[in-house]
Structure 1
């Protein structure tokens, strides 16, 4: 994610209402609470009444039946390296068996700026056990404060998470294309301890037994700050990655999860559909890259800067958005949707809702859709 210089000065949330489409009711935003720099919101399997909001300085707040509880679910502010920009506590993920395993995972920067994925256990439905903290994986990221990635998602029992390229214009170390480095990648692991190790790697990962780190599932990413799985469009699950661009283009990568295994999404040879020829360029076209299905220019709205990847809508109570992909741009604020296809997207348009400095979308256990604002509000998208 890239923060716009003016973002911290924006305090008003502008909400524009969409005209009804095909006779359906208009979309609205329902505020569920005010938080401290919220960057992610999600539900947890087996706990339909709970909603968790990740606050970037290092807390996870919890709501029960729509009401925020006085005490946070988790508070690790003392160990999170929050810098007021891109570093901090960035996401939380609950495995499918969370109700019985009690384990969950957080993605954050430590005080040195390095990326950490840690496991915790819950002490109760609304309280984590701090003493249970266990490091799953650490990834060096000390040189630049930006391009941290930050999204985690479970698909089955495997944890997928996206890392940024390490920062600096044009990826001068070529981290994203280097399969011996875990930066600029989509990684896939089983986060539970195994064989004396903190985690294990599925034997089906594409680089197991080949040159490259076993944890890598896809590569060639600049800053996949937000991604999600699409399990409603087709029987075979798909993945949608909002990859933040450099100076010209923002892109959406969308393919089947199976096809993403071993895929090279092109950075830093390409930015969007275009060859990248700016700062620290020189990476030749590696050939065989997976092209985005959609890209937009920073000139689209005059101040576009950073795609905020969203979700293919699975909530049937949002009929005008159902099976469409909803996303935003940090600097534009307008929420938008498009129809994703494996080759190209179609029908990109504003949906008539606007949020100041959107940082993330999220889903609860019933697939209801939410959006976070850097300024503090978190909203549920509703269609009365």
Structure 2
């Protein structure tokens, strides 16, 4: 019997008889559904991205050996167990890299590693790096005022005599076998190339296992003098391997399975201080050091502004990214990701109970699962473990701006997600997989670069925000030197926000009835009813060979045969998650109308009846039946007259607003002429705009007042945080159902952006294609 079932039946059996009879006489409440096993916890897989990252070799490190030599774990035998790259915060532009086997290196302008400090020698013979993947010299964090005070902090692992001669500062786990030790070092001369100075112990934790110890220590790089977070040290402490069989990560009286925050400077003679703003500071029975909890293996965390993004290694199936705030409970070991973890049944995860909200768990903002091969033992290593990374905020690679880069430790896959979508409450963000090339432009994988099937991937960042990729397999570091994203015919400044793009030159291999997305989301279109025949030889601009033909097939017969394109999923389309909770959107493309008005209404007996609209292109809402829209470019009847319009809903199921062009629609879209149309939607201000051939069209909103609800709080005003149910092109419904707005049209170069394109960008996009 599963653990949650055992609890349920135990509670039921112990209810007093009187209360039980009363309960039976009380009108029944709706029964709560019991969690059920989940076959595929995260069905959506990382999406192939058109983004290309160039990795150029930056530095290589000397071979190192674990201490003592590992007895039976070949994963510990690496060329050099380099674990992180950062930059000294002293303006010298020197980089630092630590090796788990004990040495701290500095890199100068020549990129040659010079030994700065031998941590292993300093703590011999108690230092250990040859037992467990996380053992050894794990991390270094330089105080933000290192250039003045010379202070930096390290974490390393001890065993042997240390277990009996030294006492942990906080409650250790039973059967402690290893200590994780944080040390403060003070350099006599911060400018020196080799350390000379003093040290003192700051914090010692006891772990029962050789895995999931202290994984990272760090300072908030965005905090400034005077800020509450300035100079506070964050400590990612794993569960010591006990989380799957105990409640340690949920126990607020112990430090294991927690993100801790301390003041390493100490107060009143103590080795360190507890920030009074910590969520449990001063609470009896709870450690004031705890910042957040419920963690198995919090492997890497980083800041983007004032928020923490954490890569969390799962037990059974889930590798996850969390948006962590003070007091958050990530749920382990009662939850793995957004699923129930049952200690009595570790081979399966379960759906959440109906009353899950009462527990207040924090769930992942992005996740992927293991997908082991058939017959793989459930308790065996499936070769997947997330490594958290960084949001790019540098200046050299603008196409990467606002992108969170992370990956998988074992196989070296690199992923990216949009940082703005990695927020609690927005659901799981889409994960993309970029193409990697070397300095010569040759396509590579991290396994190629590392020369090994086990990459042992890590990330680093310098003070200017530039990103680096590390591999223990061969002890090398590569710098991300270029981010290229160049779908044909797209203005460079539009590419970063380009969720989807279709030029109708890219049929899906093996399925010509589908069109490949050239945007960032990988949302492929279905060419409904007409299939490959809908690609016609009629490009809208120089260099384009094909356009999309849509239209009514049998005007006199009601039926689901109209040619249109789109994608639709009632639960929402995860690849379109970029349109969740956004402040703006843009739809643009080339259109050629081949009729004098709306199509005949095939649902009535009167051949003179016509529909009241002509569908062009748009994004659906998260609750759409196939017609309600988040952002749409279309022709509809306004006050009895057909108009070119931008139409949108900000909040699912709420009121829509329409902005109609003043010009007669035939002047905007003359028959059989290619015209470049664009519509922008500013959900924060309530403004919409239309453009024809790069020039704004005069027009007006058709609904008085504030239908979008943008007045007053909250700010900014965003769309609903729900996955759009699809994209529709050439009609009302992207699915093959009764059509209401067929369009006898040709379309080309369709672009869907998750932001408001500037007037200059729209003009430049038109000019770019017109003159190609």
TM-score tier after normalising by the smaller chain length:
0.7 to 0.9
Select 2:402's aligned residue among 323, 348, 352: 323
Q: Which residue does 1:205 correspond to in 2?
A: 278
Q: Which residue does 1:379 correspond to in 2?
A: 478
Taking the aligned partners of 1:318 and 1:131, their CA distance within structure 2 comes to: 39
Taking the aligned partners of 1:101 and 1:199, their CA distance within structure 2 comes to: 17
Taking the aligned partners of 1:377 and 1:166, their CA distance within structure 2 comes to: 29
**Count of residue correspondences:** 351
Taking the aligned partners of 1:240 and 1:69, their CA distance within structure 2 comes to: 30
Q: Which residue does 2:32 correspond to in 1?
A: none
Q: 1:360 Cα deviation (Å)?
A: 2.0
Find out whether 1:349 has 2:432 as its counterpart.
yes
Q: Which residue does 1:222 correspond to in 2?
A: 296
Q: 1:129 Cα deviation (Å)?
A: 4.1
Taking the aligned partners of 1:83 and 1:295, their CA distance within structure 2 comes to: 31
Find out whether 1:60 has 2:104 as its counterpart.
yes
Q: Is the 8 A contact 1:120 1:132 kept in 2?
A: yes
Taking the aligned partners of 2:97 and 2:266, their CA distance within structure 1 comes to: 27
Select 2:366's aligned residue among 262, 287, 294: 294
Q: Which residue does 2:323 correspond to in 1?
A: 254
Q: Which residue does 1:28 correspond to in 2?
A: 55
Instruction: List per-residue Cα deviations over 1:6-44 (Å, max 9, x = no partner).
Output: xxxxxxxxxxxx9864xxx75223332234210111111
Q: Is the 8 A contact 2:409 2:458 kept in 1?
A: no
Instruction: List per-residue Cα deviations over 1:318-366 (Å, max 9, x = no partner).
Output: 2232111111111221111011321335341112233242342111122
Distance 1:43 1:322, change over 3 A: same
Q: Following superposition of structure 1 onto structure 2, how do residues 1-384 of structure 1 map, counting pairs within 5 Å? A: 21=51, 26-35=53-62, 36-70=80-114, 72-78=115-121, 79=123, 80-83=127-130, 85-112=133-160, 113-124=178-189, 125-127=191-193, 129=195, 132-141=198-207, 143-155=208-220, 156-168=230-242, 170-210=243-283, 211-231=285-305, 237-255=306-324, 260-278=325-343, 287-299=359-371, 303-340=382-419, 341=421, 342=423, 343-353=426-436, 354-356=445-447, 357-375=455-473, 376-383=475-482
Taking the aligned partners of 2:391 and 2:318, their CA distance within structure 1 comes to: 21
Q: Is the 8 A contact 1:122 1:128 kept in 2?
A: no
Taking the aligned partners of 2:141 and 2:101, their CA distance within structure 1 comes to: 17
Distance 1:219 1:355, change over 3 A: same
Q: Is the 8 A contact 1:308 1:328 kept in 2?
A: yes
Q: Is the 8 A contact 1:270 1:276 kept in 2?
A: yes
Q: 1:160 Cα deviation (Å)?
A: 0.7
Q: Is the 8 A contact 1:166 1:175 kept in 2?
A: no
Instruction: List per-residue Cα deviations over 1:96-143 (Å, max 9, x = no partner).
Output: 1111111000111123521111000124324454651110000111x2
Taking the aligned partners of 1:135 and 1:148, their CA distance within structure 2 comes to: 17
Taking the aligned partners of 1:346 and 1:316, their CA distance within structure 2 comes to: 25
Q: Which runs of 5+ in 2 are unaligned?
A: 1-47, 63-79, 161-177, 221-229, 375-381, 437-444, 448-454, 484-772
Q: Is the 8 A contact 1:30 1:381 kept in 2?
A: no
Q: 1:280 Cα deviation (Å)?
A: 7.6
Ranked by relative contact order (alpha carbons within 8 Å, sequence separation 6 or more), the top structure is 1
Q: Is the 8 A contact 1:41 1:51 kept in 2?
A: yes
Q: Is the 8 A contact 1:253 1:292 kept in 2?
A: yes
Taking the aligned partners of 2:138 and 2:257, their CA distance within structure 1 comes to: 16
Q: Is the 8 A contact 1:48 1:366 kept in 2?
A: no
Q: Is the 8 A contact 1:40 1:91 kept in 2?
A: yes
Taking the aligned partners of 1:20 and 1:126, their CA distance within structure 2 comes to: 45
Taking the aligned partners of 2:398 and 2:143, their CA distance within structure 1 comes to: 28
Secondary structure, counterpart of 1:108 in structure 2: strand
Q: Is the 8 A contact 1:121 1:128 kept in 2?
A: no
Secondary structure, counterpart of 2:147 in structure 1: helix
Q: Is the 8 A contact 2:366 2:431 kept in 1?
A: no
Q: RMSD across aligned C-alpha pairs, in angstroms? A: 2.5
Distance 1:57 1:338, change over 3 A: same
Instruction: List per-residue Cα deviations over 1:241-291 (Å, max 9, x = no partner).
Output: 101100211111014xxxx11111110011111111245879x97800111
Q: Which runs of 5+ in 1 are unaligned?
A: 1-17, 232-236
Q: Report the TM-score when normalising by structure 2.
A: 0.43
Q: Is the 8 A contact 1:136 1:199 kept in 2?
A: yes
Distance 1:130 1:58, change over 3 A: farther
Secondary structure, counterpart of 2:129 in structure 1: coil
Taking the aligned partners of 1:226 and 1:174, their CA distance within structure 2 comes to: 22
Taking the aligned partners of 2:179 and 2:203, their CA distance within structure 1 comes to: 11
Secondary structure, counterpart of 2:215 in structure 1: coil
Instruction: List per-residue Cα deviations over 1:148-184 (Å, max 9, x = no partner).
Output: 141112122111110001114x432311100011010
Q: Is the 8 A contact 2:142 2:151 kept in 1?
A: yes
Taking the aligned partners of 2:194 and 2:187, their CA distance within structure 1 comes to: 4
Secondary structure, counterpart of 2:140 in structure 1: strand
More helix by share: 2
Distance 1:123 1:344, change over 3 A: farther
Secondary structure, counterpart of 1:320 in structure 2: helix
Which has the higher Rg, Structure 1 or Structure 2?
2
Q: Report the TM-score when normalising by structure 1.
A: 0.85
Taking the aligned partners of 2:469 and 2:234, their CA distance within structure 1 comes to: 21
